[in-house]
């Protein structure tokens, strides 16, 4: 969450950049997100993002540079490097129209898959750190362990997590050190730029880096396996990824040997976040949250596939 001083300073920076870009600025402002890991504000066509307090300056700079060099795949930044504002690293971006959550039938699964395939097939345009997906999953599980040690849903999540190979738990390097990955793919990471009808682009470079590309397919794969994503949507996504030559799965045949471990890791991460959120709100798990915990319980009865990373 923001400090008292950060939010107005972030808003002022976005406003100044917007006015510099468009002298006749239409001026419309708002807070798009205010979470412990990110505060995001918008002024007209400019977005300013304060990254997590523990973000590494050198690594974030490399990720921003990579985004600037991958037009047509990643949204390009408005400045070449982050700046420090009230102790937080801040980047600035053009505004894009997000996916409409009220219209799930129009979800751009094919566009997401196409962008991922292009990203995975593109050599890193500059040196980048390892993709942060496994490390972020480990943070979510550790927070669950600290927050809800006695909750009945905690044990199956921790058991599913413990059964994963070390690389998927962020405890060992990933074998793939060459493939460029997004690291946190979900529909909230796509925008149309320019808004509202421009092409879809990927946003959010916080986890961008080299690693196992199957991780980027793992969240929709996990949703599908848990019954949270309709089979048709999963088929559209997987078919489009394969059609564009995405290297994370074989071109045909069973994709699950490649996806199994990352999908299990994302299921455990999502379940850990869900249980933690419910405990902090002092409420029971809802139906979706219970389905995630149930999936973790089932996972422990089936040995994970050979590690992909």
Give the tens place of pLDDT for each residue, 171-184.
Answer: 999 999 999 999 99
- Region 6-95: CATH code: 3.30.200.20
Report H helices in the chain.
Answer: 6-21, 57-68, 109-121, 133-147, 154-162, 214-225, 231-243, 256-280, 287-299
* Residue 193 token pair: 């730029």
> Identical fold at 6-95 and 104-299?
no
Q: What is the pLDDT of residues 202-234, one digit of tens each?
A: 999 999 999 999 999 999 999 999 999 999 999
For the chain, domain boundaries? 6-95, 104-299
Q: How far is CA 303 from CA 125, 199, 215, 236, 298, in A?
A: 37, 41, 19, 28, 10
Task: Give me the pLDDT at residue 287, please.
Answer: 96
23 confidence band (pLDDT: 50, 70, 90): confident
Q: 104-299: CATH homologous superfamily?
A: Aminoglycoside phosphotransferase (APH), C-terminal lobe (3.90.1200.10)
Q: What is the pLDDT of residues 277-306, one digit of tens each?
A: 999 999 999 999 999 999 999 998 877 766
Question: Nearest 5°: phi and psi at 59?
Answer: -70, -40
- pLDDT over 60 (residue 145): yes
């Amino acid at each position: 969450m923001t400090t008292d001083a950060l939010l107005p300073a972030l808003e002022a920076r976005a406003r100044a950049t917007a006015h510099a870009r468009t002298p006749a600025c239409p001026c419309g402002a708002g807070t798009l997100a205010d979470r412990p890991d990110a505060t995001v504000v918008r002024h007209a066509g400019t977005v300013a993002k304060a990254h997590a307090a523990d973000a590494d300056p050198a690594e974030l700079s490399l990720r921003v540079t990579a985004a600037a060099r991958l037009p047509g795949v990643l949204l390009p930044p408005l400045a070449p490097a982050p700046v420090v504002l009230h102790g937080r690293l801040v980047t600035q971006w053009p505004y894009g129209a997000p996916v409409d959550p009220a219209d799930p039938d129009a979800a751009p699964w094919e566009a997401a898959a196409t962008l991922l395939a292009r990203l995975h097939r593109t050599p890193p345009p500059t040196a980048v750190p390892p993709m942060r997906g496994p490390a972020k999953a480990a943070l979510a599980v550790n927070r669950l362990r600290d927050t809800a040690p006695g909750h009945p849903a905690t044990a199956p999540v921790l058991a599913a997590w413990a059964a994963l190979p070390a690389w998927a738990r962020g405890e060992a390097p990933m074998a793939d050190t060459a493939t460029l990955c997004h690291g946190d793919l979900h529909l909230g990471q796509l925008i149309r730029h320019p808004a509202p009808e421009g092409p879809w682009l990927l946003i959010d470079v916080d986890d961008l880096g080299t690693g196992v590309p199957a991780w980027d397919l793992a969240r929709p794969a996990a949703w599908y396996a848990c019954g949270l994503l309709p089979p048709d949507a999963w088929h559209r996504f997987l078919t489009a990824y394969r059609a564009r030559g995405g290297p994370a799965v074989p071109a045909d045949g069973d994709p699950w040997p490649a996806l199994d471990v990352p999908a299990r890791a994302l299921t455990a991460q999502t379940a850990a976040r869900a249980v933690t959120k419910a405990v902090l709100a002092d409420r029971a798990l809802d139906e979706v949250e219970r389905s995630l915990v149930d999936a973790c319980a089932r996972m422990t009865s089936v040995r994970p596939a050979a590690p992909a990373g």
